Structure 1
């Protein structure tokens, strides 16, 4: 097959339909990545306009530009848009676009999941923007602290918009995290071991893993506060056994890792772009990889340093203060690696390198003030002042925006096939750099002079007048700089000079792709033997375009890419990816209806939406897999590998592992809240302790054991091709699980207090609800496998779906037992029949 014929065949398989149908059904990672980046940039622009309004209000004392109500909405929406709608979605989009190209793959592991995440992100953003247009925007701060955000002090739906809209968006973030994690681990070019991966892939892998573990506490906190607001369950009400600090713990369990979730991808860009700009390979690759892993781990042990002023014990103050200072060590390791690379190379002051230089200056200052804030005495003095606002922006804008701009200009030829105007780009950089430092450097002084955060005005004569005026002037200079950058990028896309295939003479695989990038990325996939696989010429690119690598052929119209063993990079399977579909947008719309029903108080409609989501999920899963044993396939280059649904550890299985990891984090966070309230909340436990039922608990235990044994028998029969016996086993497992769910509900109804009277009842009923929901999901999955057995989609060779269901069922059974123990054991003396 000639290169042209191969291109046409693959474009037919991987391309999207024309018109609106193609826009709505497209699952291609390049298109979705661009959508995420463009939408995030729009949200950044909106957040920037809100920032200008905030600075206009604060530029002079007693300003009457906006009143306190509008000001509260402005700074809440500014923070929320920048943190949730811009920073993370932008790096997700960049990672979605670049990762397959860097890894030598044709797409991400779960293209339809990427599309579902995109539509959830878009619809969740519409909820926030629609509320802002109607004057109902959130007004409790982007941190939504209780009791300010409770129904008593925020009676409208403003807080509900934040809680439900942000939770909807966080579903998108978790989907992206699972997608990126599995893609880095499983969908690499053969031969690309973990230590041959591009350094950017390491940063994304650790960041995505942090998101899997870091986002569930926020989703839990938002869920609990929305339940309290909607139904009066008192999780955060101290008069009924709750505690407002529970919100802060759960929020900052997410909020501090969030800082590193934002920083690490930007640092990954620095580690990728800097070596190209200085014409020298990255020095200390292994040390930097180790520092990334340590930083990701440490970031989860620092959340309490946001709460130093809440009266926590001195031992905890000392521990978290020391940990907050020590976290600088892995960051410094990366900085030393970058400096050593610059020292050994020959820096070229192209525009990406200019932004990296700006990053070094600004992030260093932000890091120094971060170490200062880790010291408890200073933290007490400047807590909730403008000093903290300045530090936050130095870390986030300096540590994120400047590297991201370096990455955009570095990959602009890859994204558009064109180059930007060097003078206009430099003008934009200097305006942003100067405006940023004028705005926030002075704000440190404003905070040291005592100006608190989140105030809409101030009195003259306090020494805050001229620092606020200077900061406001600097912010407008910075805004002009960003406008110049936008104009420069727009002109580059429309009229810029056409770029060569590899203008920077880089050595990573994304520069081997043709221009413009085809929908399938590479006509055939490479075998990687070094960390810098791309030669300085075009020999590799030409051989891949001619189909001389892996999968350089059209096989029955299937979307194929390579799957590898996670550590060694050895070829293990041919991954067959699903094509374009309406299912992602339909499922996202049904999920959006669920959140909208809760927002407007139509609670009866929410279960209907969930039923629709379940039906669409069934249809989604039913569209995957194969009803034929295909055996080892010709993968090219003399290699053979089975299709992924006949492999032992397919991407779908690993996707379930990381999904359940996020789920387990949600449960652990809930149990943490239970233990926290039992330790510190007033009036805990209530006088009317629960009186759990032995009978109901016994039925739960017996039903769990029956479900475990029946599913085990069903899986064994499936492996033996005994279809009738397998279907009977799965049917019995579903029945037993249904009995466990009913018994768990009876356990609550017979012995637990009402959830609205005391926080104890509220928390244990949420625990029960967790078990019931997961039991219902597992029942649906068992029924699905039973159906697939009858349809011929399961055989001794094709065991992926039964193995995934076993994983989910065993997690569900363990979770139900853990819930039962958590509720019953503290009150074991009061058990009754």
Structure 2
């Protein structure tokens, strides 16, 4: 079985003694990457619930054409906070948390390269989360300029108070950027320097390749956004004129700072989810990942191309015609390495012995919705279509099919798949499938109607609209409420299973990979003996032994 095969050459490393992990451990400054990973995941999920409540209030406002639920100022603040929370306090932290937990296990390392830096990076998340939430309640007024915070709107300060919602919003985003840069340094160093003996780059799981590629984007792109946020903060607080047109500044310059990172940020978010798909489809299809090396390299190719696409967000910002054409072509080119992945996943599933468990259902649902999001993404890369639907709900629908339909569905697939490894307990399959169907139906009901609304011309960020748009908005709001309900069986499942679920074996899915060769949950330093990797991953259905150890050979026979 040519897979992540290991030998045990009796390389016994020093063992550090740590107190046993209890629930109290998750409230401490732990340097264990697994504890930090779960801290990230749980913290970000709490903010996910807050962002979801804001989304349901927004959909409650939009269920009727009149603005009759909340004040317009409050509405502007709510969609600003919803977008900011879902990006900076849900998708980024939750993906970092999962990578924190899995990457050292998958590459045969005992921990991350810089454990204390890892802990500091996490504890900055609740700090900037609290600052961000506080910005909503300041008497000087909440942030209302959207999650992109374009000037000159973000520089308006009608109350004259220095400490207002927009000020705190910028402080929070800057802290978030520093935390993410610290995480990027840690991940890249860990993957390059701390792989187990024999774990060459082309023996790493596709998920590790995806995380590696995403963190390279972070290190190259995130300083631009962080610098832009700091410069905007200076404009707002001490009167500099980087972006203020009234003082000779250039408001479009901020858009370049913002999108130079914030469009590649989509790949920072989606690449780890692609890695999750690449891990889950082989397990539940009982087949090797088709074209493993090409899939791995395609992650790096996406990371490279991502640095040349940001201007397609600015086609309506006075961008020269020649620049529109260049960035239209570069944006379309991203579909090539992305299409390679999709074809590889379909080829992996095709003819396999499919097991439609909860993780597989979420992965398949995420793949289906990503294909649709990819089609509308290609449409938006075309200059004429983008100009037509710019600033309409078509863009909102596309964006949410990526962020919720693909990323969040992919994260739920990962939660269910690795839940037994993290907790030592099995989840309840019935509740998991109920969660999937509510999520899948709710996602499509919520975001699919936004596409015809956008094509008909309904603007985004409005709390009232022409009655001709009422039908699709009612459907979208029903879907939004259904999505809110879908989290209830998930919460019940996770808490109930963790507390009193059936005890999980070390490898309940008969999966292949180093993380499945340790106990559930893993010991503090992961491996008693550092493994020696002797082959590529994804050896499902092949006959060679998994390890030189007799017990592992028996496991290999079971896997076949």
TM-score w.r.t. length of structure 2: 0.91
Q: In 2, are the aligned partners of 1:190 and 1:527 still within 8 Å (CA)?
A: yes
Q: In 2, are the aligned partners of 1:302 and 1:320 still within 8 Å (CA)?
A: yes
Deviation (angstroms), 1:540 = 5.3
Q: In 1, are the aligned partners of 2:245 and 2:251 still within 8 Å (CA)?
A: yes
Distance 1:384 1:533, change over 3 A: closer
Question: What SS does the corresponding residue of 1:282 show, helix, strand or coil?
Answer: coil
Gaps of 5+ in 2: 1-10, 553-560
Identify the residue that residue 295 of structure 1 maps to in structure 2.
Answer: 302
Question: What SS does the corresponding residue of 2:149 show, helix, strand or coil?
Answer: coil
Q: In structure 1, how many angstroms separate the alpha carbons of the residues matched to 2:549 and 2:60?
A: 55
Identify the residue that residue 3 of structure 1 maps to in structure 2.
Answer: none
Q: In structure 2, how many angstroms separate the alpha carbons of the residues matched to 1:295 and 1:109?
A: 25
Distance 1:496 1:315, change over 3 A: same
Identify the residue that residue 122 of structure 2 maps to in structure 1.
Answer: 118
Identify the residue that residue 532 of structure 2 maps to in structure 1.
Answer: 527
Deviation (angstroms), 1:151 = 4.0
Residue from 172, 180, 193 that aligns with 2:179: 172
Q: In structure 1, how many angstroms separate the alpha carbons of the residues matched to 2:157 and 2:251?
A: 13
Is 1:335 matched up with 2:342?
A: yes
Is 1:45 matched up with 2:49?
A: yes
Q: In structure 2, how many angstroms separate the alpha carbons of the residues matched to 1:297 and 1:153?
A: 42
How far does the alpha carbon of each residue in 1:729-779 deviate from its partner, in whole angstroms, 9 at most, with x for none? Answer: xxxxxxxxxxxxxxxxxxxxxxxxxxxxxxxxxxxxxxxxxxxxxxxxxxx
Residue from 202, 209, 212 that aligns with 1:202: 209
Deviation (angstroms), 1:154 = 7.7
Is 1:517 matched up with 2:522?
A: yes
Identify the residue that residue 355 of structure 2 maps to in structure 1.
Answer: 348
Q: In 1, are the aligned partners of 2:136 and 2:165 still within 8 Å (CA)?
A: no
Residue from 463, 470, 484 that aligns with 1:465: 470
Q: In structure 2, how many angstroms separate the alpha carbons of the residues matched to 1:17 and 1:100?
A: 18
Matches within 5 A, 1:17-416: 23-134=27-138, 136-152=141-157, 155-156=160-161, 157-416=164-423
Deviation (angstroms), 1:171 = 1.1
CA RMSD of aligned residues (A): 2.3
Deviation (angstroms), 1:134 = 4.7
Question: What SS does the corresponding residue of 2:458 show, helix, strand or coil?
Answer: coil
Q: In 2, are the aligned partners of 1:67 and 1:456 still within 8 Å (CA)?
A: no
Q: In 2, are the aligned partners of 1:11 and 1:518 still within 8 Å (CA)?
A: no
Q: In 2, are the aligned partners of 1:429 and 1:485 still within 8 Å (CA)?
A: no
Question: What SS does the corresponding residue of 1:516 show, helix, strand or coil?
Answer: coil
Q: In structure 1, how many angstroms separate the alpha carbons of the residues matched to 2:246 and 2:168?
A: 26
Question: What SS does the corresponding residue of 1:120 show, helix, strand or coil?
Answer: helix
Deviation (angstroms), 1:290 = 1.9
Identify the residue that residue 826 of structure 1 maps to in structure 2.
Answer: none
Matches within 5 A, 1:494-643: 494-532=499-537
Q: In 2, are the aligned partners of 1:387 and 1:446 still within 8 Å (CA)?
A: yes
Q: In 2, are the aligned partners of 1:363 and 1:398 still within 8 Å (CA)?
A: yes
Question: What SS does the corresponding residue of 2:101 show, helix, strand or coil?
Answer: helix
Deviation (angstroms), 1:516 = 3.0
Q: In 2, are the aligned partners of 1:505 and 1:536 still within 8 Å (CA)?
A: no
Deviation (angstroms), 1:486 = 1.7
Q: In 2, are the aligned partners of 1:106 and 1:521 still within 8 Å (CA)?
A: yes
Distance 1:67 1:288, change over 3 A: same
Question: What SS does the corresponding residue of 2:354 show, helix, strand or coil?
Answer: coil
Q: In structure 1, how many angstroms separate the alpha carbons of the residues matched to 2:235 and 2:488?
A: 43
Gaps of 5+ in 1: 1-5, 544-833
Deviation (angstroms), 1:309 = 0.7
Deviation (angstroms), 1:458 = 2.0
Deviation (angstroms), 1:280 = 0.9
Distance 1:152 1:110, change over 3 A: same
TM-score w.r.t. length of structure 1: 0.62
Q: In 1, are the aligned partners of 2:137 and 2:165 still within 8 Å (CA)?
A: no
Is 1:451 matched up with 2:458?
A: yes
Higher relative contact order (CA 8 A, sep 6+): 2
Identify the residue that residue 480 of structure 1 maps to in structure 2.
Answer: 485
Q: In structure 2, how many angstroms separate the alpha carbons of the residues matched to 1:98 and 1:287?
A: 22
Distance 1:516 1:370, change over 3 A: closer
Q: In structure 2, how many angstroms separate the alpha carbons of the residues matched to 1:389 and 1:477?
A: 18
Q: In structure 1, how many angstroms separate the alpha carbons of the residues matched to 2:550 and 2:339?
A: 37
Q: In structure 2, how many angstroms separate the alpha carbons of the residues matched to 1:209 and 1:107?
A: 20
Q: In structure 2, how many angstroms separate the alpha carbons of the residues matched to 1:225 and 1:130?
A: 19
Deviation (angstroms), 1:137 = 3.6
Distance 1:489 1:89, change over 3 A: same
Q: In structure 2, how many angstroms separate the alpha carbons of the residues matched to 1:21 and 1:386?
A: 44
Q: In 2, are the aligned partners of 1:299 and 1:327 still within 8 Å (CA)?
A: yes
Q: Which has the larger radius of gyration?
A: 1
Identify the residue that residue 10 of structure 1 maps to in structure 2.
Answer: 15
Deviation (angstroms), 1:196 = 0.8
Q: In structure 1, how many angstroms separate the alpha carbons of the residues matched to 2:23 and 2:58?
A: 41
Deviation (angstroms), 1:288 = 0.9
Deviation (angstroms), 1:542 = 7.2
Identify the residue that residue 433 of structure 1 maps to in structure 2.
Answer: 440
Q: In structure 1, how many angstroms separate the alpha carbons of the residues matched to 2:448 and 2:25?
A: 50
Distance 1:538 1:495, change over 3 A: farther
Distance 1:221 1:476, change over 3 A: same
Distance 1:540 1:27, change over 3 A: farther
Deviation (angstroms), 1:382 = 0.6
Question: What SS does the corresponding residue of 2:263 show, helix, strand or coil?
Answer: helix
Q: In 1, are the aligned partners of 2:26 and 2:39 still within 8 Å (CA)?
A: no
Q: In structure 1, how many angstroms separate the alpha carbons of the residues matched to 2:99 and 2:23?
A: 26
Deviation (angstroms), 1:152 = 4.8
Distance 1:253 1:58, change over 3 A: same
Moved more, 19-28 or 365-374: 19-28
Q: In structure 1, how many angstroms separate the alpha carbons of the residues matched to 2:439 and 2:213?
A: 30
Question: What SS does the corresponding residue of 2:243 show, helix, strand or coil?
Answer: coil
Q: In 1, are the aligned partners of 2:289 and 2:344 still within 8 Å (CA)?
A: yes
Q: In 2, are the aligned partners of 1:15 and 1:519 still within 8 Å (CA)?
A: no
